[in-house]
Amino acid sequence: MTEGSISKKLILFAIPLFLGQLLQQLYNVVDSIVVGNVLGKEALAAVSTTGSLIFLLVGFINGLFMGASVIIGKRYGAKDYDGLSTAVHTGITFALLMGLAMTVIGVLFTPAILKLMGTPADVLPNSILYFRIYFLGGVGNVMYNACTGVFQAVGDSKRPLYYLAISTVINTVLDLLFVACMGLGIGGAALATIIAQAVSAALAFVKLTRVAGPHRIRISELNLDKLTLEKELSIGLPTGIQNSVIAIGNVVVQSNINAFGSAAMAGCGSYFKLEGFVFLPIICMTMALTTFVSQNIGAQQYDRVRRGTWIGTLITVSGAELIGVITVIWAPVFLRMFSKEADVLAIGVSQARTESLFYFMLATSHALASVYRGAGKTKVPMIVMLSSWCLLRITYITITVHFIPVINVIFWAYPITWTTSTIIFIIYYFKANWLQKAETL
């Protein structure tokens, strides 16, 4: 990432990320397709309503590990291999502990959180079952993402793709076996997912114990180095808090959606699955930007950081708007994969056509946030996204839905808040001395 064509480096790094994230998205997409078509809209609603809660815990822990990824990338760029090894072992140990904590919290507090969200009675039992089984596999989920973060920080985006390909096939086969053939219902879909995640985590971890590079894991060296952990948390904690608070905001949004009934839950849930799927190229380019920025700051190539920011953002925004136009045109076709029921389909299409043309705003926010994270300025995205994607979004929905009780009001919350965060990020880029203050950690 510290030499050669910037656009070529970003794109070649992002392609395996895209394919890997595509496969990872297929976990939940396959669950939704199988559940929606085999078990019906109530079961699909149950799977959909767990999404915000899953991100609440997973997003926090993965956000914490962002600090380790940034430090690993900077030390790799600076060729500080001893420091890199310490960061890897501390990050992986911390991820293991957090995976265990996530399992306990997810299993214990599921019913209370779902009830606070106002989950309808006809959906609640299935939601609790799916959520609890899913979080029994918390260690596999977190450890895979932690190991992937190590690979990506040193510029290797291919190996995680191979492991995900294997686990995605396992997930698909087990989904069909457990749900369609064995009749295990929504619990079978969750079980298939955690088995597949465990496989991908095991493959990634074992490979890290065998690589020849400075990022190799040695079991005997797994521990928490106090100074390194403090540095990782100082960068990662803001992102973890950001993810969790945004997730809490999404829980509030989901509660408002729940008030419109199971058809709205299933329709919006289908759209959110689609959005996560079609926006993957953009997310992966921004992930590449974070690695690019962290490595080049470590190598003290600040002009290259500036050029990479502009090139990466331009590629990201252009791709996002192309995806948005395609989504507007083909939304009914895409969403019919999840459910063919007219009321569910109508709500999902309405949301898609309201939001997708504003993907360029979402892309700009993601791109600039990833640049600031790569520079170690994780508090900036945290403050901006909490104020716009959480506080503003909740305030807008709470007030507007009270006076205009139609679900389209909720859909417009996203373009409004995406635009707000984009404006703030652009102002910060030009007005703040963010790059010169970036530290080599």
What is the pLDDT confidence band of residue 42, given thresholds at 50, 70 and 90?
A: low
CA separation, residue 45 to residues 26, 40, 273, 317 (Å): 18, 9, 12, 32
* Dihedral angle over CA of 320, 322, 325, 328, nearest 10: -60
Q: Considering the domain boundaries, does residue 380 fall inside one?
A: yes
Q: What are phi and psi of 135, to 5 degrees?
A: -80, -10
Report the alpha-carbon distance of residue 190 to residue 136 in Å, rounded. Answer: 10
Average pLDDT over the chain reads 83
Question: Are residues 34 and 186 in contact, defined by beta-carbon separation less than 8 angstroms?
Answer: no
What is the pLDDT confidence band of residue 440, given thresholds at 50, 70 and 90?
A: very low
pLDDT at 341: 80
Domain total of the chain: 1
| Residue 29, pLDDT above cutoff 70 | no
DSSP state of 4: S
What is the pLDDT confidence band of residue 310, given thresholds at 50, 70 and 90?
A: very high
Report the alpha-carbon distance of residue 88 to residue 379 in Å, rounded. Answer: 22
DSSP state of 117: T
Show the domain range for 31: 6-431
**Poorest-confidence range of 20-24, 99-103, 334-338?**
20-24
Q: Considering the domain boundaries, does residue 436 fall inside one?
A: no
Q: Considering the domain boundaries, does residue 242 fall inside one?
A: yes
| Residue 438, pLDDT above cutoff 60 | no
Q: Considering the domain boundaries, does residue 330 fall inside one?
A: yes
The whole-number average pLDDT for the span 143-152 is 88
Report the alpha-carbon distance of residue 5 to residue 315 in Å, rounded. Answer: 14
Q: Considering the domain boundaries, does residue 440 fall inside one?
A: no
Q: Considering the domain boundaries, does residue 386 fall inside one?
A: yes
Q: Considering the domain boundaries, does residue 438 fall inside one?
A: no
Q: Considering the domain boundaries, does residue 377 fall inside one?
A: yes
pLDDT at 437: 60
Q: Tens digits of per-residue pLDDT, 238-283?
A: 877 777 777 677 777 877 887 888 788 788 878 887 887 777 788 8
Report the alpha-carbon distance of residue 393 to residue 265 in Å, rounded. Answer: 18
What is the pLDDT confidence band of residue 358, given thresholds at 50, 70 and 90?
A: very high
**Poorest-confidence range of 3-7, 217-221, 377-381, 436-440?**
436-440
| % pLDDT > 70, the chain | 91
Please enumerate in sequence order all residues whose Cβ is within 8 A of that of 438, keeping only pairs 6 or more positions apart, or say none: 297, 375, 376, 377
Query: What tokens appear for 87 in the block?
Result: 């960061």
